[in-house]
Structure 1
Amino acid sequence: MIGRSIAIVLIAAGAAQAQDLSVNENTVAACFDSAPRDAGVPGCVGDASNQCQTQPGGSSTIGIVGCLQAETAVWDRFLNREYKATRAQVDQFDSGQPPVSEALLTAQRAWIAFRDAECSLAYERNRGGTIRSVAAAFCLMRMTAQRSLELRDMRGGL
């Protein structure tokens, strides 16, 4: 379940998407492809969002949140792709009790709850200003990018 503050960020992002803000998916893909294994969050995370913010309407608070959300959507597609690939690899070789795939699912669900709580915290820590929506949206983007890379890297160690 998405926290109340995260839902506010998503509503703001929806308003920005109405302004036709978009990110270059190839920029995000290049970041994903060039990220070294087990290196954490690469500096290129956010590049597509930064480019988006140069579009008309992209530099307002709503625009910035919309650009961050647009990049997050790309990272989320990568995350889902990497989760499915990791799960397929685990399922192919799994003979444990309980299966590793169940542990992976449990971990993924826990990670989603952690991400939502962490980004709600980022939102709440910035009370009193519109920066709170930017902080929460940035948190969602960064954590989603990081998890997609973790899932990719996990397959090398299975």
Structure 2
Amino acid sequence: MMRYPLLALLLLSAPLAAQEASVEPGAVEACFDATARGEGTPDCVGNAASACSSAQEQPDTTFAISQCMMAETNDWDSLLNREYQKTRDAFSDQPGLADALLTAQRAWIAFRDADCTLAYDRYGDGSMRVISAADCRMRHTAQRTFQLRDLQGF
């Protein structure tokens, strides 16, 4: 059963707390820029969400933590889209490679969604499921952003 998209819809449509969750502008980009090619996924992934959560009126709530993870994920997703386009452009001179990248990206999206649904389902009806799914999506998105960047220039 595919509950994760429903979860995202519920979280996004839930009444916002007194303070809207957002990450520090440029924090995710700084993490990305500070990570050398081929280094993998750095420890700075999740730092923007942690700082965001700490700044909330009720920082240790499922709502605050998951909203901040989703805010960081949105920034990673913007970078992912940029890096995907740059990688596609880098592959444009090699016949079929851009199409292979599209196929791989679609498969990655399916994998990410399935893996994060599993992360959600593992916790049954517990509130930790929301945090687990949000963390899964954030980390997968960041990791894929670095992978796409690292494909460029080869």
TM-score between the two structures when normalised by the length of structure 1: 0.89
Structure 1 runs not aligned, ≥5 long: none
Task: Give 1:46's aligned residue.
Answer: 46
Query: Are the equivalent residues in 2 in contact too, given 1:23–1:70 (CA < 8 A)?
Result: yes
RMSD of aligned C-alpha atoms? Answer: 1.6
Which ranges in structure 2 are unaligned for 5 or more consecutive residues? none
Match of 1:35 in 2: 35
Is the deviation greater in 76-85 or in 21-30?
21-30
Q: Which amino acid aligns with 2:85?
A: K
Tell me which residue corresponds to 2:11: 12
Equivalent residue in structure 2 for 1:150, among 134, 147, 151: 147
Number of residue pairs aligned between Structure 1 and Structure 2: 151
Aligned-residue sequence identity (percent) comes to 47
Q: Report the Cα offset of residue 126 of structure 1.
A: 1.3
Determine the C-alpha separation between the residues in 2 that align with 1:33 and 1:16: 34
Report the Cα offset of residue 138 of structure 1.
0.1
Normalized against structure 2, the TM-score is what?
0.91
Q: Give the structure 2 partner of residue 136 of structure 1.
A: 133
Distance 1:152 1:133 in 2: 29
Please tell me the residue identity of whatever aligns with 1:85. Answer: K
- 8 Å CA contact 1:15–1:62 kept in 2: the answer is no
Q: Distance in 2 between matches of 1:8 and 1:24?
A: 24
> Aligned-pair distance for 1:134?
0.2
Ranges of 4+ aligned residues in structure 1 off by more than 6 Å:
none
1:100 maps to 2:97: yes
Report the CA distance shift for 1:16/1:61 in structure 2 as closer, same or farther (over 3 A). Answer: farther
More helix by share: 1
Structure 2 match to 1:109: 106
1:71-116 CA-partner distances (Å, limit 9, x unpaired): 000000000000011111111x12x3xx101100000000000000
Aligned-partner SS, 1:128:
coil
Cα deviation 1:3-55 (Å, max 9, x = unaligned): 42243144224437564111013111110001122222100000000000012
Change (3 A) 1:23 1:43: same
